[in-house]
Amino acid sequence: MNSLHHPTPEFPAHLEALYRQFPFERSLARDPLSCIRPLRENPTAAEVAGIFAATLAIGNVTSIRRAYADLERRIGHDFVALAEPDGAAEARPALRSFRHRWIRGNQLSFLAGRVAATRREHGSLGELFRGGLEDGGFVEGLDRLAQSLRGPRGSRATAPRGYRALFPTPIEGSHSPCKRLTLYIRWMSRSGFPDLGVWRGVPSSELRIPLDLHVYWIAYHLGLTHRRTRNWKTVEEVTAQLRTVDPLDPIKYDFVLCHTGISGDCPKERDLSVCGPCVVRPDCLLWRHTRRGS
């Protein structure tokens, strides 16, 4: 007998209902994406600012937004300048004392140099990713982006301590879900609200779920994965399950699932006062032995 938890046959309709009734504007104001949405009419600024915002996406949303605001203040609000050949050197003094969790200012100034070098060689970060996507799929595109941002091993411009670990890649067998790069790619590629869609030619159907703790916890309890760890296999498994609900845009549910967890609308234990109105409650592992009306 298979004891693994699975969502109900009605799950696709339940998830769609959750998506349709979700308060996007409320949650967007608390999301790091809101920091870069004003730049969506300027693809270069959005691309450069986006990789910094995604790299800083460690910890709670309040601290991430605060760190981004600090970075923006230090560089004079001009992310396009960071993508210029001398941008990293010019920003280095202002970034020297920057701190956010384990990220340091010297790592961000090195990242600025790598962004400039990547744009110089490939035209844009988006062009680099799209080339990998066309040659070998999403993982290949992510790997090429990560490798370029890391910089070549053994080069004269040695990366600061801990820098390369900020850009893991599944091709190297990393145990990481690569959440920040998949999040960045979602922001840049997907045209549906609230994402920016400044990268053209990347089908939404090819994207992968940015698997943070909130999304993983909810996905596990909805039966979208049976894996006990957040790694790339879990990313692929959850994405595949969401693709059965919406084959053309499976990752549109990421923002909803993430902020359902962030907002406290999905508690970590059964609480009828919170869970009662939830449209996916019939699919939830925590409620599988109860009737919907009980």
User: Which one of 201, 230, 247 terminates a domain?
Assistant: 201
Percentage, residues of the chain above pLDDT 70: 96
Integer Cα distance of 205 and 58 in angstroms: 26
Least confident of 144-158, 224-238, 243-257: 144-158
Q: Do 149 and 112 lie in a common domain?
A: yes
Q: Which domain holds residue 271?
A: 1-23+208-294
Q: Do 255 and 122 lie in a common domain?
A: no
Integer Cα distance of 276 and 58 in angstroms: 31
Q: Residue 1: its pLDDT value, please?
A: 35
User: Which one of 201, 227, 262 terminates a domain?
Assistant: 201
Q: Do 186 and 270 lie in a common domain?
A: no
pLDDT at 219 over 60: yes
What is the tens place of the pLDDT at every residue in 90-141? 989 999 999 999 999 999 999 999 999 999 999 999 999 999 999 999 999 9
Burial profile 185-200: b = 16 or more Cβ within 10 angstroms, e = fewer:
bbbbbbeeebbbbbbe
Q: Do 117 and 192 lie in a common domain?
A: yes
Residue 294's pLDDT band (boundaries 50, 70, 90)? very low
Q: What is the mean pLDDT of residues 256-271?
A: 92
pLDDT at 288 over 80: no
Q: Residue 155: its pLDDT value, please?
A: 57
Percentage, residues of the chain above pLDDT 90: 82
* CATH number of residue 268's parent domain: 1.10.1670
pLDDT, averaged across the chain: 92
CA nearest to 179, candidates 149, 209, 147: 209
Residue 225's pLDDT band (boundaries 50, 70, 90)? very high
CA nearest to 263, candidates 30, 73, 102, 99: 30
Residue 290's pLDDT band (boundaries 50, 70, 90)? low
User: Which one of 154, 180, 201 terminates a domain?
Assistant: 201
CB 184 within 8 A of CB 211: no
Q: Do 68 and 17 lie in a common domain?
A: no
Q: Taking phi first (over 0 means left), then psi (-120 to 50 degrees means alpha), and beta for anything else, what does residue 151 get?
A: left
Total of domains in the chain? 2
Q: Residue 154: its pLDDT value, please?
A: 63
pLDDT at 156 over 90: no
Q: Do 184 and 52 lie in a common domain?
A: yes
148 CB-contact burial (10 Å; exposed 0-12 / middle 13-18 / buried 19+): buried
Q: Do 177 and 97 lie in a common domain?
A: yes
pTM metric for this prediction: 0.94
